[in-house]
Chain A
């Protein structure tokens, strides 16, 4: 069976810094994969290359067998990979519903309409439905600039879901969330994305979150994959404990 994402021999350097060193990785449909690693290990570079923001120096990236290594973020998004960001990338002067409406416009195959009202009922209903999954329907008409950081994070993830992506990449979905609420927030995220995104890759620093929600963990170290397997195996790995988790768990 063809993996959803297949990466082969991916290299990326920034001067003397090796951000990706012959990375090879297959992600099967339905997996929830967590990428872990210290700062600078290459996790975000990997996400940036998969989503077309950075071009790899060499190697290939395939989505459902289709080479996407040299495609722009726009093309990659249209082919079925969506992402959320560590720092939410929203349109802060627009309301939450308008942010979702922009994302919904991105799913149209035809040109943007000059005549269709931005707040057409169908578009608004879909926006509210997505916000409701995250418990944010009441905030639909509030400008993003008035919303707290954690709420912005959820809106950011909701926007990534609009396309019903084949592969959803979440960059630190619980960063900025209080320790008491991180599991509740992650439960909400997993529950909300389940109907629309079968395959999820999330970058995470919190090993409790990783252990609870991932069914596969990939540990990065200096642009290489240090360990790859089920959470118990990877988080218990001596090298991972030494270079990545620092003895956590």
Chain B
């Protein structure tokens, strides 16, 4: 079973990371905000991947959260950043509750393609919807926090950074508790052999659905951050390339560690920023080479760097057991 930091220590680390933003240059704040936001949705994909299913259409919930927040914010004048995150998470979570039980019946490539198809259905509907601004989308106002408005761009960036780091950090703590829990263990069992799980009296579909809804909630909150950062929303939120980017981070991270998702998201943003700066016409090539390198040398993701070592440290010496000698392999 995965062992790691105590949740209280994690809360302190999250608080320290949020305060650390005060020392960061402005351009780094924006980058870290995007990385934290992307890590949040990728974390959801990792939660789901632990059941053996990969969503190629997480943009569906990213867009549902973003559009939900944008519409409610414009209709009711809600600008509070925390409220917007909650609204985004609730909108996407409700959609996940509707779709989850239906899609949990499928596995593997069918599961992945269905999620992709649903996200593209939403994309198509949004592009055609004049009331939602069609392909151009629409704008929303500047976010506030507990009644405070941030006119200074540096302060506004820091506020968004702090809220995104705290939210993503709390989501990371929730995911860590989940990974170590009874539900987390059974999710891994579903990934390996869902029929055996059923033979043990458990519902594999229900377990996949729970993880699917958690992933949707994380994606919706991430959509709210993207909306607050851009103060604009358009159908691109639901487009397949947007979903692909999140899967990219999840693949980099692997499914074994929560911390790996944050490392992967930050690494991706840094590689993208610097390759875009120094190789403006071939930055995608650098990104591709980076992913290829991780897949070749760390096929189980960046997290396997420390999870594998921890397993080795915890495992007893692998001396032959008498029972193993008694039975033929």
Q: Give A120 to B198 CA distance when docked, in angstroms.
A: 22
Q: Give every chain B residue within 8 A of A162 (Cβ-Cβ).
A: 200
In the complex, whether A30 has a CB less than 8 A from a CB of chain B is: no
| Partner-contacting stretch, out of B27-35, B151-159, B181-189, B278-286 | B181-189
**CB < 8 Å neighbour of A102 from B180, B185, B322, B328:** B185
In the complex, whether B298 has a CB less than 8 A from a CB of chain A is: no
Those of A153-180 within 8 Å (CB) of chain B? 153-154, 159, 162-163, 176-178
In the complex, whether B207 has a CB less than 8 A from a CB of chain A is: yes
Q: Give every chain A residue within 8 A of B318 (Cβ-Cβ).
A: 142, 146
**CB < 8 Å neighbour of B200 from A102, A146, A148, A178:** A102
In the complex, whether B277 has a CB less than 8 A from a CB of chain A is: no
B323-A151 in contact (CB<8A): yes
Q: Give A82 to B321 CA distance when docked, in angstroms.
A: 28
A151-B321 in contact (CB<8A): yes
Q: Chain A, 129-164, contact with B by CB distance < 8 Å: what is the 0/1 string?
A: 000001110110110001111110110000100110
Q: Give every chain A residue within 8 A of B316 (Cβ-Cβ).
A: 141-142
Q: Smallest CB-CB separation from A134: which chain B residue?
A: B323
A77-B315 in contact (CB<8A): no
Q: Chain B, 16-44, contact with A by CB distance < 8 Å: what is the 0/1 string?
A: 00000000000000000000000000000
Q: How large is the interface on B (under 10, 10 to 19, 20 to 34, 35 or more residues)?
A: 35 or more
Q: Give every chain B residue within 8 A of A107 (Cβ-Cβ).
A: 201
B327-A116 in contact (CB<8A): no
In the complex, whether B146 has a CB less than 8 A from a CB of chain A is: no
Those of A56-88 within 8 Å (CB) of chain B? 72-74, 77-78, 82-83
A113-B182 in contact (CB<8A): yes
Q: Give A94 to B178 CA distance when docked, in angstroms.
A: 16
In the complex, whether B203 has a CB less than 8 A from a CB of chain A is: yes
Interface residue ranges, B against A (CB under 8 Å): 1, 177-178, 180-186, 188-189, 192-193, 195-203, 207, 314-316, 318, 321-324, 326-329
Could you give 12 example pairs across A and B, Cβ below 8 Å?
A74-B198, A89-B193, A91-B196, A94-B188, A102-B185, A106-B201, A118-B1, A146-B318, A149-B328, A150-B327, A151-B321, A185-B326
Q: Which 7 A-B pairs have the closest CB atoms?
A: A150-B327, A106-B200, A118-B185, A106-B201, A77-B201, A89-B196, A91-B192
